[in-house]
């Protein structure tokens, strides 16, 4: 049987994350039954789309808590929309085009996680300057336009994943030029340079890795920050 889009993305997400990280990808659910009372209260003012995405991610996170042998706990959102993780876990969430993905790892393994999904074919040419550094645009020089746009979307997604991972540690909003990326190697790893002294300083004691893949229809990216050995 042919995999659904969510199953295809789920397989890729597993390839992009270390083995200790639990992950799940599903289509957005049509009900909010899985919300815990605290989450129901927080999301009471959300519009329909946001509410269903929020409810779907919370059910996924509870499944992942169970997979990791942890008790079910609420995951509320902070004032910058960042998930407020219970003490024993870190994770990340992304939704796009009716698909939701969530990851979770125990805090003893990881300091932070970031994931991102972009359900489209490529990045609009008009956004290149805002998203890409001149050095990144130079990497795409001479590449055919459709492929260039696909790779630009992969860069965009990787930057979003990095942003989500670093935020709980730094509390900093970053522009897209704060991170300079290389093209992925054969194992989907992107090497990177951080152009922000505060973020660089915060992440110095930790090993940070970024991976990304893209297809004709979507880009998917992950970032994880290890606990020091
Ligand atoms: C916050 C942001 C990353 C969300 O991305 P998006 O493509 O709009 O939405 P996604 O579906 O991929 O992600 C939404 C999830 O991100 C998470 N998220 C939102 N803000 C976050 C933050 N500050 N830190 C960590 N995670 C955050 C939430 O879990 C949210 O889902 P939830 O509301 O159901 O809990 C994006 O809107 C943004 O502001 N980016 C900042 C600029 C940037 O990325 N710069 C790159 C720096 S190198």
pLDDT band, residue 157 (cuts 50/70/90)? very high
Q: Cβ(56) to ligand 1 under 6 A?
A: no
Q: How far apart are CA 79 and CA 64, in angstroms?
A: 24
1 Cα–ligand 1 center, Å: 34
Question: What percent of the chain is predicted at pLDDT more than 70?
Answer: 100
pLDDT band, residue 27 (cuts 50/70/90)? very high
81 Cα–ligand 1 center, Å: 7
Contacts by 178-181, CB closer than 8 A, 24 or more apart: 180/133, 180/135, 180/136, 181/136, 181/155, 181/210
To test the ligand 1 pocket, which listed residue (53, 64, 93) has its Cβ within 8 A of the most ligand atoms? 93
Name the residue with the closest Cα to ligand 1, atom 5: 160
- Rounded-to-10 torsion of CA 56, 52, 89, 219: 80
pLDDT tens profile 43-85: 999 999 999 999 999 999 999 999 999 999 999 999 999 999 9
pLDDT in the model for residue 82 = 97
Q: Which homologous superfamily does the CATH classification assign to the domain defined by 1-229?
A: 4'-phosphopantetheinyl transferase domain (3.90.470.20)
142 Cα–ligand 1 center, Å: 32
pLDDT tens profile 160-208: 999 999 999 999 999 999 999 999 999 999 999 999 999 999 999 999 9
User: What are the boundaries of each domain within the chain?
Assistant: 1-229
Average pLDDT of the chain to the nearest whole number: 97
Q: Cβ(166) to ligand 1 under 6 A?
A: no
Q: Cβ(79) to ligand 1 under 6 A?
A: no
Stated pTM of the model: 0.97
Q: Cβ(52) to ligand 1 under 6 A?
A: no
Q: Cβ(118) to ligand 1 under 6 A?
A: no
Question: What percent of the chain is predicted at pLDDT more than 90?
Answer: 98
pLDDT tens profile 1-25: 788 999 999 999 999 999 999 999 9
Q: Cβ(167) to ligand 1 under 6 A?
A: yes
pLDDT band, residue 31 (cuts 50/70/90)? very high
pLDDT band, residue 223 (cuts 50/70/90)? very high
pLDDT in the model for residue 121 = 95
Closest ligand 1 atom to the C-alpha of 160? 44
pLDDT in the model for residue 228 = 87
With 90 as the cut, is the pLDDT of residue 229 above it?
A: no
pLDDT in the model for residue 2 = 82
């Amino acid at each position: 049987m042919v995999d659904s889009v969510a199953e295809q993305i789920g397989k890729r997400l597993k390839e992009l994350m270390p083995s200790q990280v639990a992950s799940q990808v599903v289509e957005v659910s049509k009900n909010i039954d899985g919300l815990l009372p605290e989450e129901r209260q927080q999301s009471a003012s959300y519009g329909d789309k946001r509410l269903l995405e929020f409810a779907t991610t919370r059910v996924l996170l509870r499944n992942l808590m169970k997979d990791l042998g942890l008790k079910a706990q609420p995951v509320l959102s902070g004032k910058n929309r960042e998930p407020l993780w219970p003490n024993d876990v870190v994770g990340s969430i992304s939704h796009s085009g009716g698909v939701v993905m969530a990851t979770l790892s125990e805090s003893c393994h990881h300091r932070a996680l970031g994931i991102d999904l972009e359900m489209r074919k490529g990045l609009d040419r008009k956004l290149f300057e805002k998203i890409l550094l001149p050095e990144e645009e130079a990497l795409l020089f001479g590449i055919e336009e459709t492929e260039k746009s696909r790779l630009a979307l992969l860069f965009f997604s990787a930057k979003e994943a990095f942003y989500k991972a670093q935020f709980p540690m730094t509390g900093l909003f970053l522009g897209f030029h704060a991170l300079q990326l290389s093209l992925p190697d054969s194992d989907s790893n992107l090497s990177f340079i951080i152009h922000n002294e505060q973020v660089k300083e915060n992440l110095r004691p930790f090993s940070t890795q970024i991976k990304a893949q893209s297809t004709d229809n979507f880009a998917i990216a992950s970032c994880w920050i290890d606990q020091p050995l």
